[in-house]
Structure 1
Amino acid sequence: MKTHLDPAWPIAFRSLFVRVVIYTLLIGLIAQGAYWEAQYLPSVRFSELGFTEFTQTLVLFTACLLLIYVRHVLHVWPNVTLLLLAFLAASLVREQDHFLDTYVAENTWKVLVALIVIPSITWVVIQRRYFLTEFTHYSNTVSLGLFTAGFLTTYIFSRLYGRQAFWRTVMQENYVSNVKSMAEEVTELLGYSIILFAMVELVLLARRIYQARQIPA
């Protein structure tokens, strides 16, 4: 028998349609933003100060806030959300490596990432029985599917697609480093955006679980 903790409830077609429309519009805005960056911000295009890098930071920061909301306000799947939060917070710090290395100290970002990841993984290992129970619920959700797609896009495909050797082969004597940077950074932003959509889906599901918990048995 299904319980109120079972996330395998169907999503209404209208709700799914609205979400797809919104996500599509956001992806379109990202693509348009990259175009505007290339056209109107030639001095900082696809650099640490450009639209794409700034949006990556904003997307990751927003995703972290959503996870904090799920974990500390809705109190849904605390171990799963802790691991996701550690991963995204580490990614957020990694995106600031240029500023941290320049204005704080060399390799500062590595220290901060270690301070985030090591305690979080340690706690999840200690709580592994609870984590595995929570994950059995999370594993059947739209959120995990989107998160996996975003992860593969950002951390696998964008790295391979953005290889200098690849773009030198494609462009040969016309190779321009900005083109290579554009391809990698925009693809990376797409992956981060899909991860953000995954966190939105997690919030929507967590709210349903939270509301169900308020109903007396």
Structure 2
Amino acid sequence: MSLVRTMIYILLAAVLASAVLFGLWFDVHVLQDKLGEISVTETLQAGMLAAIVVIHFKLVNDSAFMRNCNLLIGGFFLAMLIRELDGLFDLISHGSWVWFALLSSILVIAYTARHHRRTLAELSRYPLTPYYGMMISGLVCILVFSRLFGMHSLWESVLGDEYLRVVKNMVEEGSESFGYTLCLTASIAYYFYQRRSERSLNEQPPTVS
């Protein structure tokens, strides 16, 4: 059964990655877009982030022994989602996304800090879960690789006089979107792993003293 699950998650990751590439193609080829704030690619990224947030916030209720850890992870991705939707928050006030992200982060950290021992214990268990490596790989791809690989100076030196900003944007947004596919696949797999773990703990017979 674990092999079947693994194959399903691989297929899921492949479908998500294909959707990301289709979004890039549609933006550039069909919409003749330069991958600005409003595009299919940006919408897909926001959708994947929202799904990750929903998964981990749902686990806050569904997984009692990892509640604070899931709340922190969900809060982290919520701040990322708010940053991704900065154009929407600019309708309120330019740069206002910072305050919404800061407020949500403070609330989550303050809540989990009330039971800091339990929170630290849960965080120490999280790296032992099977999908931790995929999640970290996705975050590295989003926060580090896509930013460095999409540097203006890098692509200007490579393309020279033929430099087109849309090329740089496609590389950066494509790398970032691939990172989101890894994080979403890891979150979905982690969700079912936590549900199975929770059921196993509940089914264990009580110890007799």
TM over 0.5: yes
Q: Which runs of structure 2 are paired with 1:32-181 in the superposition (5 Å)?
A: 32-42=22-32, 44-101=33-90, 103-181=91-169
Root-mean-square deviation over aligned CA pairs: 1.6
Contact 1:76 1:206 (8 Å CA) reproduced: no
Unaligned 5+ segments in structure 2 are none
Match of 2:4 among 14, 20, 28: 14
Aligned length in residues: 205
Unaligned 5+ segments in structure 1 are 1-10
- Deviation of 1:125 after TM superposition, in Å, equals 3.3
* Superposition TM-score, scaled by structure 2 size: 0.91
Question: Which residue identity does 2:17 align to in structure 1?
Answer: I
Question: Which residue identity does 1:127 align to in structure 2?
Answer: H
The 2-side partners of 1:75 and 1:92 are apart by 25
* Superposition TM-score, scaled by structure 1 size: 0.88
Superposed CA offset, 1:13-59 (max 9, x none): 222122212212221222122122221111x3411111110000000
The 1-side partners of 2:19 and 2:101 are apart by 30
The 2-side partners of 1:53 and 1:136 are apart by 33
SS at match of 2:4: helix
Contact 2:79 2:104 (8 Å CA) reproduced: yes
Contact 1:45 1:51 (8 Å CA) reproduced: no
The 2-side partners of 1:136 and 1:113 are apart by 25
Counterpart of 1:4 in structure 2 is: none
Contact 1:93 1:112 (8 Å CA) reproduced: yes
My pick for the range that moved more, 64-73 or 105-114, is 64-73
Distance 1:148 1:216, change over 3 A: closer
